[in-house]
Amino acid sequence: MSDLALLLQRLSQLATGPLLVALVASAIVVSLIRNWRLALPVLIGQYVVVGIMLARVSQSGVAVIKILAGILVCLSLSIAAQRADDQRAARGESVAVERILHPSWRSVPAQVLLRAVATAFVLTAAFGAATRFPPPKATPDVALSAYVLIGAALLLAATASEALNAGIGLLMFISGVELVYAPLEPSVSVAVLLGFMTLALGVALSYLTLADVADRARAPT
Amino acid sequence: MLPVALLIIAVPLAAAIPALALRGLRIFELPIAVGACLFVILLLALPAAGGSTVLAIGSYQIELNAPLTILGRTLRVRDFDRYALILIFSAAALIFPLSVRANQGWTFVPLGLAMLSALSVALMIRPFVFSALALEVAASLAAMMIQVEREEAHEQHRVATLGALRFLTIVTLALPCFLGAGYVVAQATQAVAPDAATYAPAVTLLLIGFALLFGALPVFTWTHPVARDAPPLVTAFLATVYLGAITFLFLSFRQEYEWFRTSPLIVSAANLGGILMLAFGGLTAWAQRSFGRVMACGLAVEIGALLIQAGLGTVLSIEAIAIGIGARAISFGLLALGVSLLRQEFGSDEFDTLRGAGRRLVWAPLAIGIGGLSLAGLPGTIGFVSRWMSIRSLALGDQELMMLSILASASVGIAVVRGLGALLEVSPTPSPEDAPATLEMEAASRLETLRQLIGDVWGRLKARALHLSVIAPAVTIVWMGLAPHALALLAQSIANGYTFYR
């Protein structure tokens, strides 16, 4: 067993509580804050937590593939987002760093409040679904994590207009589905194919992220 | 021993590499793409001697039914997939060359080839949960084909990411349905006496998954945004090749799983989806004011008709589906070519901005007229043959559905005629942004004269390619409308293949 797989196996023996809190917190952050400089590092962290949870219910090799595929996709998305920001900066539009350093306090509270209310509803629904419709063979913590990820992902994909944020939603959706599916089909080949699929999706999303900037530049004002 | 399954996957993928390297040079990439498709068609069409050997080169034997194992999963060309794959690759081989004078972006040919490979995997791999993964990869490629950055300065048609994102999202949402159904089926096969109730969750999940993939759930999903945002021939490619692969995947489920075939939910769900799509497409088509939206409504009507036929599952209905896919490849392809020429030349496909434009660009109204009216089922075209088969199939059962299908097609026809009316209107025409200005021919030197001569010959060749890319499919539509024997023969083989259970 590789060192990474061994490390994951040890980490998977940690208490459930902190992992669950970290996963829910990451889902909340990604749902609320539509800024790639914050969202993508949080998404990497979320992939690590999902990997640790997968190691609890499946082979640690499966978890390693998940984490590596996730990190690669996040890196490719961040390169695309950085290039998109460069193009925005060249046109004199605001970029992600500026929005962190100089937030527009007039518009931020209204947007964040609306998303916070929607996220609260989604989390409540996820909790209800995890207790009333637990997926087969899933432990309660895995069930809750999966429902939180799927719920937050659907909210993000449905409400985000930018390709990057909607894409992050799709990636979270796949993570949630994998959490449900891993205990049912613990084979490494499925994990490899799911990892390959995540990479293909990541390439497409990076492409769309770049195209999004060109589109907004061309859009009539 | 070399399994044909390996070549079906590897040949388009291998062809995609030079096509990607030579992107933009359509004189090279199109023959590569068409050659790869024809090679696969040839492999599948060759008669299998001595069991399943289709070709023997030295000590290597290419076996049709030999399994290919990847990561413990088996890919195999089953008898019922054989003709379906021929039809899908034929449709791609018809659509690729239409882009010879209508730029569809650098992704169209290379990623189209890679998508063919992924869709072939989806059809051939078992257990079927892996089909869903292959479809997701195909959707990722499709998203890049839909959302392509076109280089022409005069291409002002607005490009948004909504279509690509919507398509990708819908296919991603279908993924857990197939994974869940796979688990239920695995559990059911371990049960002592599995009955219909044991398989009921799998049937429901598969129906939701297929409804999402067909674009029938919810009714307004990817068809309109994709038709608006994607290069028109990419829409035609998805309408024909992608939808064809999904249809044959659905039919292979019916063929393989008795619990799926015998479920009463299938017919009612397919009818519901079909009626919604036909009603939605039919009610909205006639009133559209742009060719992109007419294409989208035409696609909705096609999906509706296809769903109803897929639900019936009779030999006649599957023949109607197969002929419909073949007819759609040419009709939708030619319509898309016309729309593409208009967008390329005038930067728009809105009726209002194109009033009288058809008189400047005569090939566009010709392509839209013949392609669009064939899509609507005008007698004398291949579209009519498809509609006639569909009507024959429905006339034996639900005649209300038959009338709905006819009315929805007529609505598409009205929209096409309205668009043609605007195109051929006698009025001042909008001038293209960078219409080729008449060059003052000044033969200052022999070198200059030679350069001009070469330029003139090249211009004539390009114009000839445009004429050919419109006339050849237009003639094919009419010719196959009058003598559809070859397509009917293929459709019959497909129908016989997918109804072994009779």
Residue with tokens 């088509």: B285
Q: Distance between CA atoms of A97 and A99, rounded to whole angstroms?
A: 5
> For the segment A115-143, what is each residue's pLDDT rounded down to a tens digit?
899 999 999 999 999 999 999 888 899 99
Tell whether the model's pLDDT for residue B431 goes beyond 60.
no
Tell whether the model's pLDDT for residue B450 goes beyond 90.
no
Q: Distance between CA atoms of A43 and B309, rounded to whole angstroms?
A: 44
Confidence of residue B242 (pLDDT cuts 50, 70, 90): very high
With CA atoms as reference, the chain A residue closest to B72 would be A189
Residue with tokens 């291998």: B14
CB pairs < 8 Å spanning A and B: 89
Contact in structure between A212 and A166 (CB atoms under 8 Å):
no
Tell whether the model's pLDDT for residue A215 goes beyond 70.
no
User: Which chain A residues have a beta carbon less than 8 Å from that of B133?
Assistant: 193-194, 196-197
Question: Could you give the dihedral angle defined by the CA atoms of residues B159, B163, B169 and B170, in that order, rounded to the nearest 10 degrees?
Answer: -170
CA A154 to chain centre: 11
Q: Which amino acid is at A220?
A: P
Contact in structure between B146 and B167 (CB atoms under 8 Å):
yes
CA A131 to chain centre: 23
Confidence of residue B415 (pLDDT cuts 50, 70, 90): very high
Which backbone phi and psi does B126 adopt, to 5 degrees? -140, 145
Peptide bond before A220: cis, by omega within 30 degrees of 0?
no
DSSP string over B235-299: HHHIIIIIHHHHHHHHHHHHHH-HHHHT-HHHHHHHHHHHHHHHHHHHHHHTT--BHHHHHHHHH
Closest CA to A180 of A31, A48, A54, A8: A54
pLDDT of residue A97: 76
Establish if A102 touches chain B: CB-CB under 8 angstroms.
no
Tokens describing residue B188: 């059911």
> For the segment A25-48, what is each residue's pLDDT rounded down to a tens digit?
999 999 998 888 899 999 999 999
- Between β-strands B68-70 and B60-63, what pairing exists: parallel, antiparallel or unpaired? unpaired
Confidence of residue B220 (pLDDT cuts 50, 70, 90): low
Of A51-60, B312-321, B456-465, give the lowest mean pLDDT range. B456-465
CB contact under 8 A, B169 and A170: yes
Q: Distance between CA atoms of A39 and A24, rounded to whole angstroms?
A: 14
Tell whether the model's pLDDT for residue B267 goes beyond 50.
yes
pLDDT of residue B111: 93
CA distances from A215 to A163, B147, B156, B230, B345 (A): 11, 10, 11, 13, 20
Q: For chain A, how big is the Rg over CA atoms in Å?
A: 18
Confidence of residue B448 (pLDDT cuts 50, 70, 90): confident
Among B129, B140, B149, beta carbon nearest to A211: B149
Supply the DSSP symbol for B150.
-
Tokens describing residue A99: 């929005």
Establish if B131 touches chain A: CB-CB under 8 angstroms.
no
Tell whether the model's pLDDT for residue B222 goes beyond 50.
yes
pLDDT of residue B147: 80
Residue with tokens 């989390």: A123
* Mutate: best of A208, A212, A216, A221, partner B, most B CBs <10 A: A208
User: Which chain A residues have a beta carbon less than 8 Å from that of B126?
Assistant: none
- Contact partners, residue B52, CB within 8 Å, separation at least 6: B63, B64, B65, B66
Which of B27-31, B82-86, B221-225 has maximum average pLDDT? B82-86
**Percent of chain B scored above 90 by pLDDT?**
43
Q: What angle do CA B411, B244, B385 make, to 5 degrees?
A: 50
With CA atoms as reference, the chain A residue closest to B160 would be A215
Tell whether the model's pLDDT for residue B439 goes beyond 50.
no
The CA distance from A106 to the nearest CA of chain B, in Å, is 28
Q: For chain B, how big is the Rg over CA atoms in Å?
A: 23
Mapped onto helix, strand or coil, the DSSP state of residue A35 is coil
Q: Higher confidence at residue B2 or residue A204?
A: A204
> For the segment B54-111, what is each residue's pLDDT rounded down to a tens digit?
677 777 788 888 888 887 788 888 888 889 999 999 999 999 998 887 888 888 999 9
Tell whether the model's pLDDT for residue B442 goes beyond 80.
no
Establish if B133 touches chain A: CB-CB under 8 angstroms.
yes
Q: Distance between CA atoms of B91 and B166, rounded to whole angstroms?
A: 24
- What residues are paired with B416 via a beta bridge? none
Tell whether the model's pLDDT for residue A220 goes beyond 70.
no
- What residues are paired with B56 via a beta bridge? B61
Q: Distance between CA atoms of B253 and A2, rounded to whole angstroms?
A: 40
CB atoms inside a 10 Å sphere around CB B17: 13
**Percent of chain A scored above 70 by pLDDT?**
95
pLDDT of residue B197: 83
Q: What is the mean pLDDT of residues B129-157?
A: 77
* Mutate: best of B135, B136, B229, partner A, most A CBs <10 A: B136
Confidence of residue B240 (pLDDT cuts 50, 70, 90): very high
Q: Higher confidence at residue B430 or residue B384?
A: B384
Tokens describing residue B468: 């050919």
Look over chain B and give the mean of its residue pLDDT values, rounded to a whole number.
Answer: 85
Tell whether the model's pLDDT for residue A146 goes beyond 90.
yes
Buried-state track A137-146, b at ≥16 Cβ within 10 A, e below 16: ebeebbbbbb
pLDDT of residue B437: 46
Confidence of residue B154 (pLDDT cuts 50, 70, 90): very low
> For the segment B279-301, what is each residue's pLDDT rounded down to a tens digit?
999 999 989 999 999 999 999 99
The CA distance from A151 to the nearest CA of chain B, in Å, is 12
Contact in structure between B415 and B296 (CB atoms under 8 Å):
no
pLDDT of residue B483: 85
Q: Higher confidence at residue A205 or residue A215?
A: A205
User: Which chain B residues have a beta carbon less than 8 Å from that of A166?
Assistant: 165, 169
Contact in structure between B163 and B230 (CB atoms under 8 Å):
yes
The CA distance from B126 to the nearest CA of chain A, in Å, is 13
Establish if A201 touches chain B: CB-CB under 8 angstroms.
yes
Mapped onto helix, strand or coil, the DSSP state of residue B57 is strand
Confidence of residue B50 (pLDDT cuts 50, 70, 90): low
pLDDT of residue B219: 66
Tokens describing residue A95: 């970029």
Residue with tokens 């040919």: B109
Tokens describing residue B299: 């696609």
Q: Higher confidence at residue B23 or residue B493?
A: B493
Confidence of residue B153 (pLDDT cuts 50, 70, 90): very low
